[in-house]
């Protein structure tokens, strides 16, 4: 059998456009002499469609497109991912894979396991299938699976939560080739777990396994592709490129297709390359799929804005990125110098300097004349941040360029950010990177600058080495308010990504009790800010936003500590 893997980038809701993508893959597969073409999960609709799937006519359009593709397939067999209407069940749709050929639908499989954790809400829309599906094509008995059916939450390092095992049941029905259609979002290190799971399945059950994954980005989610084939016994036959659209035909019987896998070696040796590729794709996809071509951001001379600027320049081209320097009376000469150096090195389309000093003085005077006292302390610092946000949004509105937020996960966790100030933006590019990851990725970019297409290391060394500061008052540094980032990040990783409580963190790290409880209390306290934050590109197991729906008003009482979080917590921290 010659099998074509269609690693596609569908656009959610664009049924006609997605059908044309699939037709192009059919043409390619036919030209390559394939017997079978496999698409990704819900390729006709795009994944995740969320509540768009409820809109009148959407699923009906997918069903009509499926019939048209069956005619277009001719003698080629196509396994198509699509939704279909589910009659007389408590959920209105099935998430399905249909085998098409010669104008007919030869078989249909409905996804059986519906994830409802993290960012997934399949169980909101889709009724679970109840049967396996094994069909013979070109002399091979092929068993169909869809995404969670093969992973069973094992790829997200969660406890097994399903009684049904679609893999074992499908193999018991006599298949010798498992084909899994996927739309599984990127998380750092997740693909390595995918590889290990498929290797274990192929070795244990002595079957070939084909996994086709979506590529692209939707809102906060990034899809990395890297579709793979494993031979019986656990040897990998093929891996498609990461973060790229690709249709490739493989001869499953040939031993000549097995090659070295530089993509695998690169990913496993350089996790920073995964982060870089994912974030660049996330920015590019958000811009392209919202028909935006340009971006802007505030350049402070610090490490966070420098990293976001590099990622945006890689995603959109440096000529399409505008940097805005917004100095105050507290900004250092070195910070402005570093921002200018970054712009020059990257070759940004524009770099503007808009001082907020006069606006700040005017605001302070207006405040004082209103008879409510003088602006002091944190309130005064946040005014500066909001004045910057005001100017950045004005430029975004007048130019049509999307504003990129530059805060990192450590700051967002601690509320070390200002609502309607530095939190403003279309997307938060590094909002899922802890501060030490920001440093690691920045150093990696400078080390790998040539392979990334830069003529010189793009991030100024001073931006990496100088103490981080919001520069909102004299001689300010982040560590005036926050714990050392090395320690803070360890607490955040355990409390957010692993869901450990404070007691366990203290017990297993030996960190000071007051330090840990202070950090965890602030993480809970400032949830109200994150509810109003920009969309955060997801690269970690637990990302602030839709996949972590924590309450704003809560009180935790575990016997170890109590935390009460009201809805109207003062905006008591600073911009970064």
Which candidate, 388, 402, 405, 412, places its Cα nearest to that of 531? 412
Assigned token pair, 357? 């000093």
Give 32's contacts (C-beta < 8 A, 6+ positions apart): 2, 4, 249
Q: How far apart are CA 492 and CA 485, in angstroms?
A: 10
Q: How far is CA 238 from CA 23, 70, 171, 211, 551, in A?
A: 23, 27, 22, 10, 44
The DSSP-derived string for 483-521 is --HHHHHHHHIIIIIS---HHHHHHHH---HHHHHHHHH
In sequence order, the β-bridge partners of residue 230 are 209, 236
Dihedral sign, Cα of residue 168, residue 80, residue 189, residue 410: negative
Domain boundaries, the chain: 2-269, 278-472+533-553
In sequence order, the β-bridge partners of residue 377 are none
Question: In which element (H, E) is residue 76 found?
Answer: none
CB 45 within 8 A of CB 12: yes
Question: In which element (H, E) is residue 489 found?
Answer: helix 485-492
Cβ burial, residue 113 (10 Å; 0-12/13-18/19+)? buried
Q: 2-269 is classed in which CATH architecture?
A: 4-Layer Sandwich (3.60)
User: Which conformational region is residue 135 in: left (phi greater than 0), alpha (psi within -120 to 50 degrees), or beta?
Assistant: beta
Q: How far apart are CA 391 and CA 495, in angstroms?
A: 35
Number of CB atoms found within 10 A of residue 426's CB: 19
Half-sphere exposure of 50 (CA within 13 A, CB side): 8
| 3-class SS of residue 258 | coil
Q: Is 147 a catalytic residue?
A: yes
Q: Considering the candidates 62, 86, 147, 175, report the single residue annotated as catalytic.
A: 147
Q: At 202, give phi and psi (nearest 5°).
A: -65, -35
Q: At 549, give phi and psi (nearest 5°).
A: -80, 75
Residues of the chain with pLDDT under 50: 256, 258-260, 265, 560-576
CB 39 within 8 A of CB 100: no
Q: Is 111 a catalytic residue?
A: yes
Q: Considering the candidates 40, 62, 111, 471, report the single residue annotated as catalytic.
A: 111
Give 515's contacts (C-beta < 8 A, 6+ positions apart): 483, 487, 491
Question: In which element (H, E) is residue 193 found?
Answer: helix 190-205
Which candidate, 95, 202, 218, 200, places its Cα nearest to that of 155? 200
Q: Considering the candidates 41, 214, 471, 573, report the single residue annotated as catalytic.
A: 41
CB 283 within 8 A of CB 429: yes
Number of CB atoms found within 10 A of residue 378's CB: 17
Q: 278-472+533-553 is classed in which CATH architecture?
A: 3-Layer(aba) Sandwich (3.40)
pLDDT for the residue 254: 75
**Strand ranges inside 349-419, DSSP E:** 350-353, 402-405
Q: How far apart are CA 152 and CA 154, in angstroms?
A: 5
Half-sphere exposure of 103 (CA within 13 A, CB side): 0
Q: At 255, give phi and psi (nearest 5°).
A: -90, -5
């Amino acid at each position: 059998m010659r099998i074509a893997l269609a690693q596609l980038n569908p656009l959610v809701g664009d049924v006609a456009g997605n059908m044309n993508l699939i037709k192009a893959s059919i043409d390619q597969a036919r030209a390559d002499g394939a017997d079978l073409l496999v698409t990704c999960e819900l390729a006709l609709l795009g994944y995740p469609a969320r509540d768009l799937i409820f809109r009148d006519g959407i699923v009906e359009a997918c069903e009509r497109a499926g019939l048209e593709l069956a005619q277009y397939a001719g003698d080629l067999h196509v396994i198509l991912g699509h939704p279909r209407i589910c009659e007389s069940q408590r959920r209105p749709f099935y998430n399905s894979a249909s085998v098409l050929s010669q104008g007919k639908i030869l078989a249909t499989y409905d996804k059986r396991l519906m994830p409802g954790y993290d960012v997934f809400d399949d169980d909101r829309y889709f009724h679970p299938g109840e049967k396996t599906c094994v069909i013979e094509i070109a002399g091979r008995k092929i068993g169909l699976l869809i995404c969670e059916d093969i992973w069973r939450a094992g790829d997200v390092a969660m406890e097994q939560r399903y009684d049904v095992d679609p893999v074992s049941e499908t193999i018991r029905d006599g298949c010798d080739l498992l084909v899994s259609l996927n739309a599984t979002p990127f998380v750092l290190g997740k693909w390595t777990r995918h590889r290990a799971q498929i290797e274990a399945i192929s070795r244990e059950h002595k079957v070939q396994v084909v996994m086709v994954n979506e590529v692209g980005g939707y809102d906060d989610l990034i899809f990395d592709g890297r579709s793979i084939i494993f031979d019986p016994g656990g040897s990998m036959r093929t891996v498609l490129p990461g973060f790229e659209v690709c249709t490739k035909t493989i001869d499953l019987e040939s031993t000549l297709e097995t090659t070295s896998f530089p993509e695998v070696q690169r990913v496993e040796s350089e996790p920073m390359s995964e982060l870089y590729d994912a974030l660049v794709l996330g920015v590019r996809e958000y811009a392209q799929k919202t028909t935006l071509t340009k971006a802007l951001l505030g350049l402070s001379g610090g490490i966070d804005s420098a990293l976001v600027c590099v990622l945006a320049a890689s995603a959109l081209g440096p000529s399409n990125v505008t940097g805005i320097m917004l100095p105050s009376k507290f900004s250092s000469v070195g910070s402005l110098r570093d921002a200018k150096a970054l712009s020059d090195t990257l070759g940004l389309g524009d770099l503007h300097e808009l001082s907020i000093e006069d606006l700040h003085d005017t605001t302070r005077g207006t405040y004082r004349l209103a008879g409510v006292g003088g602006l002091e302390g944190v309130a005064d610092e946040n005014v500066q941040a909001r004045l910057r946000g005001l100017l950045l949004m004005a430029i975004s509105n007048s130019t049509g360029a999307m504003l990129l937020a530059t805060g990192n996960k450590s700051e967002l966790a601690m509320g070390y950010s200002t609502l309607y100030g530095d939190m403003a933006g279309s997307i938060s590019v590094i909002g899922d990177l802890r501060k030490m990851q920001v440093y690691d990725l920045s150093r990696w970019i400078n080390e790998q600058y040539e392979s990334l297409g830069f003529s010189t290391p793009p991030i100024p060394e001073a931006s990496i080495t100088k103490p981080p500061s919001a520069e909102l008052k004299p001689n300010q540094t982040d560590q005036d308010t926050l714990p050392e980032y090395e320690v803070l990040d360890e607490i955040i990783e355990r409390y957010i990504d692993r869901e450990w409580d404070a007691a366990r963190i203290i017990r297993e790290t030996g960190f000071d009790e007051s330090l840990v409880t202070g950090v965890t209390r602030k993480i809970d306290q400032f949830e109200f800010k994150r509810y109003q934050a920009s969309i955060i590109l997801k690269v970690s197991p637990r990302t602030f936003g839709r996949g972590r729906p924590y309450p704003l008003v809560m009180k935790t009482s575990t016997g170890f500590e109590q935390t009460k979080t009201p809805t109207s917590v003062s905006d008591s921290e600073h911009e970064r």
